[in-house]
Amino acid sequence: MATSRVPAAVDALLAILRTVPALADVRIIDGPPAANLTERHRIYVGWQPGGESGVSLTQDFASAGARRRDEDFAISCYAESRTGDKDMSLRRARVFEIVAAVETALRATDTSPHAPTLGGAVLWAHLTTGDLLQEQGPDGALAGLAFSVTCRARI
């Protein structure tokens, strides 16, 4: 019996995002950056800059008898857009487009009715919190959006 749905949910979220046409030019990364990446647009799943955890979770008994448990967790994610120019407005707009594609991928549609369940990994998942980060550096403007995908599972 599984003691957590976190590993399956993170894997499912990565798989879903890697198939989204609107994210074709975005590198989807599992966890924190391991090297100096050259891609201009990225999504990190299970990591945020300055974050203390990749996933935070809580569990409690689902009913009397202690046979089932409810698990609530938030997967930390971070989207980033940079191109070397100084136009912050364009970077900000692009990072919100990237996160909009994530949110759309998590919504149920006729062609993807199980999207909110991450393909059955959880009872439901949706994009919840977000924090916009902006900076101007020697390499140009950077806009990042730290966000969470919040899930509920039954184990």
Within-domain flag for 138: yes
Within-domain flag for 44: yes
- Full domain range(s) for residue 33: 6-154
Within-domain flag for 84: yes
pTM of the model: 0.92
78: alpha, beta or left? (left if phi > 0; alpha if psi -120 to 50): beta
The enclosing H or E element of 135 equals strand 124-137
Within-domain flag for 46: yes
Within-domain flag for 1: no
At 39, which CATH number?
A: 3.30.2000.10
| pLDDT at residue 65 in the model | 66
| pLDDT at residue 122 in the model | 96
The total number of structural domains in the chain stands at 1
| pLDDT at residue 64 in the model | 64
Within-domain flag for 48: yes
| pLDDT at residue 16 in the model | 95
| pLDDT at residue 115 in the model | 81
Answer for the pair 149, 55: CB distance below 8 angstroms, yes or no. Answer: no
Within-domain flag for 30: yes
Within-domain flag for 65: yes
- Could you tell me which residues come within 8 angstroms of residue 136 by beta carbon, excluding any fewer than 6 positions away? 86, 88, 142
Digitized pLDDT (tens) for each residue of the chain, 155 residues in all: 578 999 999 999 999 999 999 999 999 999 998 777 788 999 999 999 998 899 999 998 887 666 788 999 999 999 999 988 999 999 999 999 999 999 999 998 888 888 899 999 999 999 999 999 999 988 899 999 999 999 999 99
